[in-house]
Amino acid sequence: MRPVIGRTHATSGAVAVLAVVPLLRQHGVAVDGWAVPVAAVVGAGSAMLPDLDHPSGTIARSLGPVTTVLATVVGFCLGGHRNGTHSLLGLAMFTGLGVLATNAGGLALGLYLAFLFAIASAAVHVSLVKVPVLHTAACLLVGAALTRGALFDSFSPDVIPWAVGIGTAVHLLGDMATVQGCPLFWPFWRHRFNYAALSTNHFTERFVVGPALTFIAIYLAVAEVGGVEMLGPAWKAAVEVVRSVVPA
Ligand SMILES: [Zn+2]
């Protein structure tokens, strides 16, 4: 049985987080401006976190030796592939780390966001620079930029732990749709829960599900920063500019 591919995990993580944003806002979590793209990146990256138990997986290769060693250690401590990281304990640990990084702020939050950005971009097969070391440097820069936004552009990072929890949960839901399922109550009860036995058809996933999820993610992100209402006026303004430039 083919596992759910990384790209589907990452895009469904971003979609789920963006879809929950209105609900979070209703419950007093500030998600404005910069917080929307940050939430999407964190959701996408977190939806890859449970596969950090696989030394030869997409995440393990995302930042070279750093992530290979990390994945080997995580896999060793949490019972190998699709065990501890795919349980409620793993979900609590990843979310707890998100809370710690958010509360710590500064460098810790920057590195955490850079890491999530790196694994999200690895999942969707975007390499910022072909040379691995430069790609790592570019990811660190993006992390710094995201944190700078968090610290100085007055967006509240409160949404980050929510996005981590939602992203990770979406990964478990995705894997539970396949035959292998997830051992939710690991290490106490190793029964693997699954609600479906989907065989993820490569063609449908690549050419239908993937693009649809990407489109929904982009639409939701634009809508949530108030962009959809701005599209009409922006179009009118553009037409006016063209009219004034082009002689009748
Ligand atoms: Zn998985």
Task: Say how far apart CA 248 and CA 246 lie, in whole Å.
Answer: 6
**Distance from Cα 114 to the centre of ligand 1, integer Å:** 21
Q: 39-70 pLDDT, tens per residue?
A: 999 999 999 999 999 888 888 888 888 889 99
Q: Which amino acid type is present at position 17?
A: V
Rounded mean pLDDT, 129-142: 76
Pick 22 or 224 by higher pLDDT: 22
Six-digit token pair at 248?
Answer: 């009748």
User: Is 128 contained in some domain?
Assistant: yes
User: Is 207 contained in some domain?
Assistant: yes
Quick one: which of 162, 177, 161 has its CA closest to 8? 177
**Distance from Cα 50 to the centre of ligand 1, integer Å:** 6
**Distance from Cα 52 to the centre of ligand 1, integer Å:** 9
Number of structural domains the chain divides into: 1
The range of the structural domain enclosing residue 48 comes to 6-245
User: Is 239 contained in some domain?
Assistant: yes
- Report whether the peptide linkage leading into residue 187 is cis, meaning its omega lies within 30 degrees of zero: yes
Mean pLDDT estimate for the chain: 83
Three-state SS across 156-197?
Answer: CCCHHHHHHHHHHHHHHHHHCCCCCCECCCCCCCCCCECCCC
User: Is 10 contained in some domain?
Assistant: yes
Q: 69-81 pLDDT, tens per residue?
A: 999 999 999 988 8
**In this model, does residue 1 exceed pLDDT 50?**
no
**Distance from Cα 82 to the centre of ligand 1, integer Å:** 6
Q: 156-211 pLDDT, tens per residue?
A: 889 999 999 999 999 999 999 888 899 999 889 989 998 887 766 667 777 777 77
User: Is 137 contained in some domain?
Assistant: yes
**Distance from Cα 23 to the centre of ligand 1, integer Å:** 27
**Distance from Cα 235 to the centre of ligand 1, integer Å:** 43
User: Is 100 contained in some domain?
Assistant: yes
User: Is 1 contained in some domain?
Assistant: no
**Distance from Cα 12 to the centre of ligand 1, integer Å:** 13
State what percent of residues in the chain have pLDDT above 90: 35
**In this model, does residue 150 exceed pLDDT 70?**
no
pTM for this entry: 0.82
Given this model, what pLDDT does residue 4 score?
A: 56
**Distance from Cα 59 to the centre of ligand 1, integer Å:** 11
**Distance from Cα 182 to the centre of ligand 1, integer Å:** 8
Given this model, what pLDDT does residue 20 score?
A: 92
CA 69 to chain centre: 21
User: Is 78 contained in some domain?
Assistant: yes
